[in-house]
Amino acid sequence: MTVTELVSYEDALATYDPVMGLEVHVELGTKTKMFCGCATALGAEPNTQTCPTCLGLPGSLPVVNATGVESAIKIGLALNCEIAEWCRFARKNYFYPDMPKNFQTSQYDEPIAFNGYLDVDVDGEVFRVEIERAHMEEDTGKSTHVGGATGRIHGAQHSLLDYNRAGIPLIEIVTKPIVGAGEKAPEVAKAYVTELRELIKSLGVSEARMEMGQMRCDVNLSLRPQGTEKFGTRSETKNVNSLRSVERAVRFEVQRHAAVLNDGGTIIQETRHFHEEDGSTTSGRVKEEAEDYRYFPEPDLVPVAPARTWVEELRGGLPELPRVRRNRLREEWGLSRHEMQSVLNAGAIDLITATMDEGAPADQARKWWMGELARRANEDGVELAELSITPAQVARVCALVKEGSLNDKLARQTIEGVLAGEGDPDEVVTKRGLKVVSDEGALGTAVDEAIAANAAIADKIRGGKVAAAGALVGAVMKATRGQADAARVRELILEKLGVEG
């Protein structure tokens, strides 16, 4: 295969219009697998969560997990889908060691949910992504390739299989072709997966942690010449497993397709692998050969026919959906769309609301999570929610600032202590001796000393140059190692010098 020089993204967009299709797999957070009672706990020893059903042993029979179906319906409803009155499972037949049954139990032409949409925010504008379907299926086992250079399948001598994951419920959510995104295609793709992840989390059906493989995205992309209708041939980039990667994969494929087409070449319909290191994709298997799955209705499972009363009950129980909630909070907090986007991207919405529930005002809660704490999370390369500080502790710091026991500098040190595992804010304040010096006597002495040591400045202030008081405040703060209330210090200085503030 010849290596094609990529076309710049701008040049590609000048000639071609991208069309995308996104397939997202969500692993449900059920306690058991989709068709058997095996546990789904993460991190279990290999092959300790299997049974005759999920190993595909002769004579075993599957039974559907009711919570799996319920979760699928909730996801469908939240995506504004119609819910099937009656639908079946189907066997997708293929021989591959990650599926011991030699078929995956999935749904084919009768998905449980179909014809929906999800509105996403892109640069302050609403973009509607249409949903083709959401269907129920099961996850595969986990392969470890042995003997290859980098644990990859190529060059491997043999592979080792752990079937703990085989049979864990998956919901596959497929969009209709996404047209009209134009140059914003990479942002739209990222915004869609972000919004979908928020939605799934808000429903409580999965933690949807992409880094844990609980949510995985396949990116279909094709280009058509600007001004034409007919879709081009698509490529399918598999397992794009972070929000940033989704954006990069779309961008790369736009540039690669454009390069091939510009050279007079044709795009091959194939699956491609995404490479996290450089954001590129490489060729996988050719698609039409692999797609001969010989689907047929699963004879071992009876149809699922969700009663309309059940569906309506589930619809009534849906939580406020993330985008609606975000718009409400944005207004309540008085933020711009851009600011709210930052809060969302930082994963701080729930942390801020939880901090407010503990009594902190919105602006203070946001200030700490989006400032000091976001900086720390970034430095440590962890999610904000993973920091070892709770919303209640942040709220306590806010309260200590409000009552005047801490100033901003001391509050930062207190937070540092909490993060370092020194205990609750009050303990850190005590242990580190961080209380603001509010003892008027001690403060008065410090002010007197500062005035005596800076006679010239004191004279200026007496002469009416109130602004010069800042220098004396600085001196007092220094003498008290930052533990004084600066506003009170200023008051005392002006009072002692007989000047009106």
Partner 1 sequence: MPGITREEVAHLARLARLELKAEELDHFAGQLDDIIGAVARVSEVADQDVPPTSHPLPLTNVMRPDEVRPSLTPQQALACAPAQEQQRFKVPQILGEE
Candidates 8, 14, 42, 52; binder of partner 1 (CB under 8 A) is: 52
Q: Could you say which residues in the range 74-93 bind partner 1, by CB under 8 A? A: 86, 88, 93
Candidates 160, 324, 442, 453; binder of partner 1 (CB under 8 A) is: 160
Strand partners, 484: 437
**Total residues binding partner 1 (CB under 8 A):** 58
Closest CB to partner 1 among 87 and 458?
A: 87
Q: Closest distance between partner 1 and the C-beta of residue 11, in Å? A: 33
Question: Look-up: residue for tokens 């718009």?
Answer: 327
- In this structure, the dihedral spanned by the alpha carbons of residues 285, 291, 297 and 302, taken in order and rounded to 10 degrees, is 30
Q: Which stretch binds partner 1 (CB under 8 A): 159-167, 187-195, 391-399, 424-432?
A: 159-167
**CA distance linking residue 377 with residue 321, whole number of Å:** 27
Q: Which stretch binds partner 1 (CB under 8 A): 149-157, 184-192, 312-320, 400-408?
A: 149-157
Q: Which two tokens stand for residue 330?
A: 């944005």
Strand partners, 145: 159
Closest CB to partner 1 among 270 and 485?
A: 270
Q: Which two tokens stand for residue 332?
A: 């309540």
Q: Which stretch binds partner 1 (CB under 8 A): 2-10, 113-121, 151-159, 316-324?
A: 151-159
Give alpha helix (H) positions in 184-321.
185-203, 243-262, 287-290, 308-316
Candidates 6, 20, 50, 473; binder of partner 1 (CB under 8 A) is: 50
**CA distance linking residue 372 with residue 145, whole number of Å:** 43
Draw the binding track, 278-317, toward partner 1 (x: CB under 8 A; -: no contact).
Answer: ------xx------x-x--x-x-xxxxxx-----------
Backbone angles phi, psi at 476, to 5 degrees: -65, -45
Candidates 18, 68, 111, 391; binder of partner 1 (CB under 8 A) is: 68
Candidates 32, 239, 242, 480; binder of partner 1 (CB under 8 A) is: 32
> With binding defined as CB under 8 A, does residue 353 bind partner 1?
no
Q: Could you say which residues in the range 96-135 bind partner 1, by CB under 8 A? A: 96-97, 100
Closest CB to partner 1 among 2 and 157?
A: 157
Q: Closest distance between partner 1 and the C-beta of residue 27, in Å? A: 14
Closest CB to partner 1 among 3 and 86?
A: 86
Draw the binding track, 203-232, toward partner 1 (x: CB under 8 A; -: no contact).
Answer: ------------------------------
Contact 30, 65 (CB under 8 A): yes
**CA distance linking residue 260 with residue 16, whole number of Å:** 12
Q: Closest distance between partner 1 and the C-beta of residue 289, in Å? A: 10
For residue 170, give every residue at least 6 positions away whose Cβ sits within 8 Å of its Cβ, in sequence order, or none. 25, 26, 27, 28, 34, 136, 137, 138, 139
Overall size of the chain counted in residues: 501
**CA distance linking residue 395 with residue 180, whole number of Å:** 44
**CA distance linking residue 479 with residue 494, whole number of Å:** 18
∠ CA 393-395-398 to the nearest 5 degrees?
115
For residue 113, give every residue at least 6 positions away whose Cβ sits within 8 Å of its Cβ, in sequence order, or none. 72, 73, 75, 76, 77, 79, 81, 82, 83, 84, 131, 133, 134, 135
Q: Which residues bind partner 1 (CB under 8 A)?
A: 30-32, 36-39, 45-52, 55, 63-69, 86, 88, 93, 95-97, 100, 143-147, 153-163, 284-285, 292, 294, 297, 299, 301-306
